[in-house]
Amino acid sequence: MLHITIHAARRMLRAGDIGARELTAAILERIDAVDGQVRAYLTLTPELALAAADRADAALVAARAAGTTDDLPPLLGIPLAIKDTITTEGIRTTCGSRILENYIPPYQSTAMARLQQAGALILGKTNTDEFAMGSSTESSAYFATRNPWNLAHVPGGSSGGSAAAVAAGECLAALGSDTGGSVRQPAGFCGVVGLKPTYGRVSRYGLVAYASSLDQIGPLARDVTDAAELLGVLAGHDPLDSTSVPAAVPAYAQMLDRPVRGLRVGVPREYFAPGMQPEVEAAVRAAIQVLADLGAEVREIGLPHTDLALPVYYLIAAAEASANLARFDGIRYGLSAAAESLWETYRETRGQGFGPEVKRRIMLGAYALSAGYYDAYYLKAQQVRTLIRADFDAALAEVDVIACPTGPTTAFRIGEKMADPLSMYLTDILTLSANLAGLPAISLPCGFDGAGLPIGLQLMAGAFQEPLLLAAAFAYEQAAGWHTRHPTL
C-alpha cells in the first residue's frame, strides 16, 4: 500500500477495499518510520489530513450507497505533499528560508485550491532549496533531504523533499515547482515521474515567485498516469494569474493510450556532450531504442544554441529573483529584525533571513539589472533566449517529441558540490532550456547506474502538447516497467 498509485488507490477507495483514514494513517506511520532518515518534510499536518480523510470516507460511504462513486471528485481521499514554495492557507510556508520561518499565509494558492476541490488531502509541506534556488535541497535553511535510494546522496532539487517523499512512500504524489529543472531533476534522481507543464498551463498564483518568466508548478508522481491525473486537476485559466492561458484542458489521463507508431522522436546531439556519466547515456539511448521498437521514427536533431542556455538562464533567473525577493523587507511579512532605522531594518532582516545562495543570486541579479549593465546582460540574455526558443521551434517542426537525459549524472553525494556553485549550476544544463522556451517536459525513470541510483529520461514537446508528451512517456513506461521499482528503507 505504501507504493500505491493515485489511480489504484482511487479504485480501492471507491470499491470500499480501503478507507481514506486507513490509507492516510498508513502513510503517516510510514512518515513516522522513515522521515527521520529521509527528512522530506518541513511541516507535517497529520490532524488536518486525518480530519479530511474522515470527510472523504463519509462521502465515499454515501456515494457507494447511492451508486454514484463515478461522480466523486477525482482525488477524493488521496494524500499528497506540497512543496514549501507553494502557499497553503493557514499552513506554515517557509520556502526553505529563515526569512519565512513563522509565516502562515492568509490566502490559498490556486494549485492548492484546485487539489482541495478535487478532494485531495494534504500531509504536509516538503523541503526545498531556499526559495527554490538550488539543485540538491542542501541550500534549505533547515536541513538537507536525503535520497531514499542511498541516504548518502542528494535527492536533487529544488523540489527534493517532494521527490524523496514520493520515492520513499511518504505520500502518493506531490507538487513541486520548476524554474530550471526543479521538478524533473529531483524526479530523475529519485526514480519518480516529474512533469513541468507548458508555461501558462498551470496558475502560478500563490507560488512564491523565484523567476516569474520561468516558474511553473508541476506534479511528482509514481507513474505517468498519476502525473496526467494531477495535471488535469491543476491546469486551466486563472484570473488571478495573468500569465495563465485560457486554453481548454484536455482529459490528459484518458489520452495516454495513443500508439507511438509513426511518432517522430528527435535526439539532440548537443545533449550527449562529453562529461556525461556513461551509464546515463547508455540507459537513455536504450530507452530511445525502446521507443523505436514500439514504432517511433527516431532521428538526430540539432539545438545549436544549447551551450548558451546555462549563462542565459542564470542571468535571467538571478535578475528576476533579485526583483521578486525585494518584497522581503522585514516590514510586510516574515522575519523582521528590529533596528534603529528603516535602512538598518532592511539590512538586518535580509542579512539574517537569507542564506548564502539566495544572497549570491540577489547580488548577481541586481548587478545584471543595474544602470549601464542592463543592455549588456539582461537584455542580451533575453535576445539569446529568443534564439534558443527558435532552435526548439525549428526542431519541433520536424519531430513531435525530443528525447534526452534529464541530467548528465545520477544523484551526487551530499556535500559534494556545495563549495562550488558553478558545478551545482551545471547539473541543470539539460533541463533549463525547456523553461527558457516555455515548453512542457517530463522526466521518467529509465534504469539504474552501477551504484543502484536511478537514471532519468527526459521528453519535451511543443507548447500545450502535453497529451502527446504524456502518451509517449506512458508508452515507454509501460514497455520498460521501471516505475514498479522502489527503494528499500
Restricting to residues 360-379, name those near ligand GLN by CB under 6 A.
none
Q: Does 220 bind ligand GLN (CB under 6 A)?
A: no
Q: Does 317 bind ligand GLN (CB under 6 A)?
A: yes
The Cα–Cα gap between 448 and 277 comes to 12
Beta bridge partners of 265: 298, 401
80 membership: H or E segment, kind and range: strand 79-83
Single out the residue of 105, 169, 180, 408 in contact with ligand GLN (rule: CB under 6 A). Answer: 180
The Cα–Cα gap between 181 and 194 comes to 10
Least distance in Å: CB of 123 to ligand GLN? 22
C-alpha closest to that of 149 among 32, 277, 34: 34
Restricting to residues 224-283, name those near ligand GLN by CB under 6 A.
none
C-alpha closest to that of 358 among 82, 128, 201: 128
Q: Does 319 bind ligand GLN (CB under 6 A)?
A: no
Q: Does 428 bind ligand GLN (CB under 6 A)?
A: yes
Q: Does 436 bind ligand GLN (CB under 6 A)?
A: no
Phi, psi at 16, each rounded to 5° = 85, 15
Specify the stretch interacting with ligand GLN by CB under 6 A; choose among 50-58, 99-107, 178-186, 411-419: 178-186
Specify the stretch interacting with ligand GLN by CB under 6 A; choose among 35-43, 73-81, 173-181, 279-287: 173-181
The cell numbers describing 234, all together, are: 491543476
Q: Is 125 a residue of the active site?
A: no
Q: Is 182 a residue of the active site?
A: yes
Q: Is 83 a residue of the active site?
A: yes
Count of Cβ atoms closer than 10 Å to residue 252 Cβ: 24
Single out the residue of 44, 72, 133, 401 in contact with ligand GLN (rule: CB under 6 A). Answer: 133
Q: Which residue is nearest to ligand GLN (CB)?
A: 182
∠ CA 213-215-220, rounded to 5°: 155
C-alpha closest to that of 233 among 115, 377, 351: 115
Residue of 158, 159, 203, 443 with catalytic role: 158
Least distance in Å: CB of 164 to ligand GLN? 16
Q: Does 134 bind ligand GLN (CB under 6 A)?
A: yes
CA dihedral 81, 129, 240, 332 (to 10 degrees): 110
Residue of 136, 139, 182, 433 with catalytic role: 182
Q: Does 178 bind ligand GLN (CB under 6 A)?
A: yes
Between helices 278-293 and 466-480, what is the axis angle to 10°? 100
Least distance in Å: CB of 327 to ligand GLN? 18
The answer to whether residues 456 and 283 touch, using CB atoms and an 8 Å cutoff, is no
Q: Which residues are catalytic?
A: 83, 158, 182
Q: Which residues of the chain form contacts with ligand GLN (CB under 6 A)? A: 132-135, 158, 178-182, 210, 317, 428
